[in-house]
Structure 1
């Protein structure tokens, strides 16, 4: 598959509690040492790597349950990046395997936990992740630089190619696509409506990004670009430095592309 295939496989496990099928799968592959309810954050990464066809890229052909050993393997391969210069300078990005030390060090030997990066906030304050065994479930999380020891960068397969109508080869991505023109129409027409009609379903992609930016409450994610969603988008525009009519809560090309880059979706006309 590809980087997006790896992320998709991690998304498949969101909401999984414990004990679970990941633990059982890992036990069947690695023996009785993994009986019972044991920490499964890196086993989740391993399972997603196998299922996405990125086992060699992510795990170097080896199952990992011990996060320290996994991070060290990235370092041995020259693919380890310690989090010593902040989120922006580190270049951490979607698809990176991110390792955490809750005590705040960048020492591999002190690593406590692991997940996959799904995006970075536009102001570089937050890293968005999917993690197994976080509060005993697989879930999306928002992390700050203090908690991140570093990250490994897998050499993913390229995105699959397809042929367009002109006969040229283009990349095929599983990333969500959001039409700017249809989104603008929804933001202008939805707020006065009663209830939660969905005039343009990908509004929900933008709402989830605003939730990740901590500008919109999760309860408003319904695909309806109502007043709360528009107000949250206005706050996002202000965060980017827009003022006046440029921060009216109606998505513009510049702000939407910034949001898309941070949260893994594509903007189309």
Structure 2
């Protein structure tokens, strides 16, 4: 299956992880935009532009324009009505996976003061998880607090049709949970489907990236339980008992897939 939209954008940024400088993003951007970008220029937004082109999200993320200047990029999101200033805290803002997040190290929410940019991979409590180019001269994962975030743009990503979403079988997930928790550390039954469940929990901020390995062990169970409780409370479902114990049921598995758009639940 070909990944499109939000997940394709995140995947393209993941391709750059560990990239130092000078690098291919700088070379690529220079070839497209000329010698004004000669030498070791700041490339955080150039990496966003590269990933947008690489993933087929150039119009959605960059509005058909190459960006190296973060202020101009954030202003374009604002002009399109896709900008949210960080004035209500992490949880209050609704920031989520796939958002293009802009930073002001001085702590303001002013677009004119923006210093840096990255992409959100998940939210964990009051911490935003990102991938950023040109952070300490490399492309790396970071965890950012509200003070540093000026705001974020939310691209209008293409949404894959439901019939092309990967399927996650409830039967397989239940079997994997039983086997993986009882097995050795890192053991994984039905790893591909387990990865989809874990990516969904990571996207919602309940499972750290280090545990997204396809093994549905105790960390994943606890993350699933935390998500169940939050989802039930948010939608006034009054789930109790086995519906909150961290083990998948069809109702919760279907809800997790729909809420994140990462998979469709099947029997």
TM-score range, shorter chain: 0.7 to 0.9
Q: With the length of structure 1 as denominator, give the TM-score of the two structures.
A: 0.75
Answer yes or no: is 1:52 the counterpart of 2:42.
no
Indicate the SS of the match to 2:150: strand
Aligned to 1:101: 104
Higher helix proportion (structure 1 or 2)? 2
Aligned to 2:149: 148
Indicate the SS of the match to 2:181: coil
Match of 1:90 among 93, 96, 115: 93
Instruction: Say if 2:198 and 2:207, in contact at 8 Å, map to a contact too.
Output: no
Q: Any idea what the Cα deviations from partners look like across 1:131-162, whole Å, max 9, x if unmatched? A: 22233332343433332211223344x4355x
Q: Structure 1's 171 and 146: CA in aligned 2 closer, same or farther, altered over 3 A?
A: farther
Aligned to 2:159: 159
Answer yes or no: is 1:72 the counterpart of 2:88.
no
Q: Which runs of 5+ in 1 are unaligned?
A: 162-169
Once the two structures are superposed, the pairs formed by residues 119-158 of structure 1 within 5 Å of their partners are 119-121=122-124, 125-156=126-157, 158=158
Q: Any idea what the Cα deviations from partners look like across 1:7-32, whole Å, max 9, x if unmatched? A: 33223323323322111111222223
Q: Structure 1's 231 and 56: CA in aligned 2 closer, same or farther, altered over 3 A?
A: closer
Match of 2:248 among 251, 254, 260: 251
Q: Any idea what the Cα deviations from partners look like across 1:43-80, whole Å, max 9, x if unmatched? A: 01111222233323322332111111211222233332
Instruction: Say if 1:118 and 1:264, in contact at 8 Å, map to a contact too.
Output: no
Answer yes or no: is 1:193 the counterpart of 2:183.
yes
Aligned to 1:81: 84
Indicate the SS of the match to 1:187: helix
Instruction: Say if 1:215 and 1:236, in contact at 8 Å, map to a contact too.
Output: no
Match of 1:43 among 43, 46, 52: 46
- Of 50-59 and 230-239, the range deviating more from structure 2: 230-239
Aligned residues: 255
**Offset of residue 108 of structure 1:** 0.7
Q: Structure 1's 54 and 234: CA in aligned 2 closer, same or farther, altered over 3 A?
A: closer
Aligned to 2:13: 10
CA-based RMSD of the aligned residues comes to: 3.4
Q: Structure 1's 130 and 261: CA in aligned 2 closer, same or farther, altered over 3 A?
A: farther
Q: With the length of structure 2 as denominator, give the TM-score of the two structures.
A: 0.75
Indicate the SS of the match to 2:182: coil
- Paired with 1:54 and 1:99, the residues of 2 have a C-alpha distance of 18
